Structure 1
C-alpha cells in the first residue's frame, strides 16, 4: 500500500513572495521571447539557464507521477477485468414446483335473459327496483288488462251458454227426443267455447310478467304509463349463483390437457384474479370445452364454473384465469444461464475435463426467471451460470462452483 506524504503548511507571506518571483521571471522570459530584453544580455543568460533547469526537473517529476499513477490504474483495471471475467458454474436443481398458466377471461352469468312483454298495452305497474334480487315467480310488471278482462268475461259467458246447451241436449237424448249425434255436436260446441275462454285467461295472464327464475334485476328500460308493444324489452334478469368464466387457450395447451385430462381435473387448481389484483376466494372447475377452434387465432374456448355465494361477481366482468398444477421433481435452471440461437435455446455444459460445449435444451415450462427443463440437462451436468458470453466452444474453463440452491435464489436476471 503506497504512503501519502503530507503537505506542509506554508506561511502566506512566503507563498505570496514565491508567486511574485515566479510572475516576474515569467514576464521577463515572455518579453525576451518577443524580442524585448528587459535586462542586459550577460544577465539574461543565467536566467534562461535557471529556467531550463527548473523545466527539466518539472518534466522528470511529471514522468515519475505519470508512471506511478499509470501503474496503479493498470493494476486496478486488471483486477476489475479479472473480477468481471470470473466464470461461475452450477448444476440443475431437482425441486417440486407449481406451474401456472394465465389466460384473460370474460365472466358471464349462468342464466342471463331479456325480460320482454308478451302482450302490448300500457305499463300499469312496476313491482321491482333496479338491482333488486327476486325469486322465481315474483311479480315484476303488470300491463293494463282492461281489454283482456272484457274478452275473458265474454268468452266465459259463451262457454256457459255452450255448457247449458249441451246439458239440455243430453236430457232430450235420454228421452229419445233428439238423436245422440245432436248431443255430440252440442258437446263439441261446449268444448270449443271452453277453449276460447281458456285462451282469453292465458292472454290475461300475459299482462302479468313474473320472474322465470331467481336472480338480480338489471336496469329498467320502461317506466310506468309507457305504451309498449308485444316483444319490447322491459329489463334483464341474471342468475349469478354460479358464474361461467370463458377463456381462450392455444391448441398446444388443449392437446396437453386432453392427453392427461383425468390428472388435470384431479390436480389443477383454477383461480380467478379480479381486475383489482385480488384472487376470488372460490376455486373453479372446468365446466365445458367448446366444440370448434377459432380459425383466426387458433384458440379454443374453455369454461370454468365458479360458485358465487356472496354475489361478488357480476355478468360482464373481466379478469385473469390462473391454472396452477403441481409438478414433482422438476429440473430447474436460471434463465440467465441460457442463450438463443434462432428459435432454439442453448446452455454451455462442461464435460469431465471442464471443456465447454454448446448444448441444445428443451424448455417445458417458464417460471419467474427460471426454466423447467424437459430435455438436454440432467442433475449431474454442470453448466455456466455467469460469464456465458465469455465462453467459447471447446475451450477449457476455469470457474467457481455455486451450489444449485444458492443459484436459484433471488433470480432477477433473464437470459442473455
Structure 2
C-alpha cells in the first residue's frame, strides 16, 4: 500500500513539473518599447548654481566710538556718494576740538615769548655782553616751541577728523543693506558687524565654479587659441532667480580665476548682468544657464532613467533581448525631456524607454522598436 502511495505522489510531482515547464515554454516575453541610441547634434543648456554680488559692495563701519544719534536712511534706499547715513553723538569730539584750539593758542604764546627772548639774547651776544652759549640755548628753546606749535596743529587736525567722522557717509552710489544698529546703539571701531552695507548694483556679478575636469571640457567647446578669444566666442547666458523666474536681461561670461581653488580644485568664473531696474540683489542665490552645443551627444529619454542613491541607471538589451541594469553618467545639463549621457552607453546600444518600473535585471523581453533620433 505504501508503495502505491509513493508511486502516485511521484507521478503527481512529475505531472506538475511538466505542466509548469510547458507553461514557461509557452509564455511569451512581455513587450517593452526600446530605442537604439545614436550620437547626434544637440543644443542644451548647462546650469550652475551661482552667488550674486554687486559690482561694489562696501561695508560701512564707524571710525570712532560713540552712540548713534540719527539714522538718515532706510533699508533698500538708494544713496549717492557722500550722502550722510548715520550721525554719531559729537559732544565729546567737539570738546576735544575746542581743547586742541586752546592748546594752539598756548603754543603760539609760548613761541612768541621764545622768539622775543632769542632776539634779546642775540642783541646782547652781538655786544659781547653774554656768550654764544646763551644765544644757542635761546634758539633751541624757540625751536622746541615751534615744534610744540606744530604738534598742537596736528592734534587739532586729528580732533577735527574725529569730529568729521561723527557724520558717516556713503563712499559710493548704491543701495543700503540691512540696518542692525538703531538710534541709541553704542558703536565702536572694533565692532564685529558693520553699521550697514552699500552695494552698487548697476551691474551684477554672478560667480560660479567648475571642477578641473569640467573646466577643460567646457572651454574646449569654444574656438580661440587664447582665453580672451574663447570668452568672445561664448554665447550670452541667462539667469534664473531663486523663485524660478528667468531674468529678462542676458549676461556675458567675462573672467576666469587664474588659480584653481586649493581646497576644492575648482575654477571660478564671473558673468556680468546689467541691472538697470535693480531687480537683482547683491548676496542672492540664483542659477546661471549657459547654452551649449554638442556635436555627438548621446541623448537618453528621462523616462528611461531611474536613480538609486544618487546614481543613474538604464536597462540595456543584448542580442538575445535580455535586459541588463546599466549605470550611466550624465552631464549637469539636459533638454526638457532628455539627459546628455557621458558614460555607460554609447551609439548603437539599445535601451528600454518605458515601463522600466516592472523590469529586473536578466529578464527577457519582446522589444518594440522605436524610431531612433536623427
1:274 Cα shift? 1.1
Matched, 1:230 2:199: no
Equivalent residue in structure 2 for 1:372, among 314, 334, 340? 340
1:275 Cα shift? 2.5
* Secondary structure, counterpart of 1:131 in structure 2: coil
Equivalent residue in structure 2 for 1:133, among 78, 85, 94? 78
* Secondary structure, counterpart of 2:99 in structure 1: helix
* Secondary structure, counterpart of 1:277 in structure 2: coil
Change (3 A) 1:299 1:223: same
Equivalent residue in structure 2 for 1:383, among 350, 353, 357? 350
Equivalent residue in structure 1 for 2:253, among 285, 296, 302? 285
Equivalent residue in structure 2 for 1:271, among 233, 238, 245? 238
Distance 1:268 1:337 in 2: 31
Distance 1:305 1:282 in 2: 9
1:273 Cα shift? 0.9
Change (3 A) 1:284 1:182: same
Q: Any stretches of 5+ residues in structure 1 without a counterpart?
A: 1-77, 406-416
Alpha carbons 2:237, 2:290 under 8 Å: kept = yes
Task: Describe the superposition over 1:17-53 as per-residue Cα deviations: whole angstroms up to 9, x where unpaired.
Answer: xxxxxxxxxxxxxxxxxxxxxxxxxxxxxxxxxxxxx
1:283 Cα shift? 1.4
Equivalent residue in structure 2 for 1:213, among 172, 190, 211? 172
* Secondary structure, counterpart of 2:64 in structure 1: coil
Hey, what does 2:102 align to over in structure 1?
154
Distance 2:157 2:107 in 1: 10
Larger Rg computed on CA atoms: 1
Distance 2:370 2:63 in 1: 80
1:185 Cα shift? 3.1
1:213 Cα shift? 2.2
Distance 1:160 1:293 in 2: 61
Q: Could you say which structure has the greater relative contact order, defined with CA pairs below 8 angstroms and 6 or more residues apart?
A: 2
1:205 Cα shift? 1.9
Task: Describe the superposition over 1:284-332 as per-residue Cα deviations: whole angstroms up to 9, x where unpaired.
Answer: 536565854657xx97876554443322122343322333322234343
Hey, what does 2:371 align to over in structure 1?
402
Alpha carbons 2:237, 2:288 under 8 Å: kept = yes
Larger CA deviation: 120-129 vs 266-275 = 120-129
Hey, what does 1:97 align to over in structure 2?
43
Matched, 1:253 2:214: yes
Alpha carbons 2:42, 2:297 under 8 Å: kept = yes
1:108 Cα shift? 3.8
Higher helix share: 1
Change (3 A) 1:153 1:369: same
Q: TM-score when scaled to structure 1?
A: 0.57
1:210 Cα shift? 1.9
Change (3 A) 1:164 1:317: same
Change (3 A) 1:205 1:174: farther
Equivalent residue in structure 1 for 2:63, among 112, 115, 118? 118
**Cα-Cα RMSD:** 4.8
Larger CA deviation: 283-292 vs 306-315 = 283-292
Distance 1:158 1:291 in 2: 62
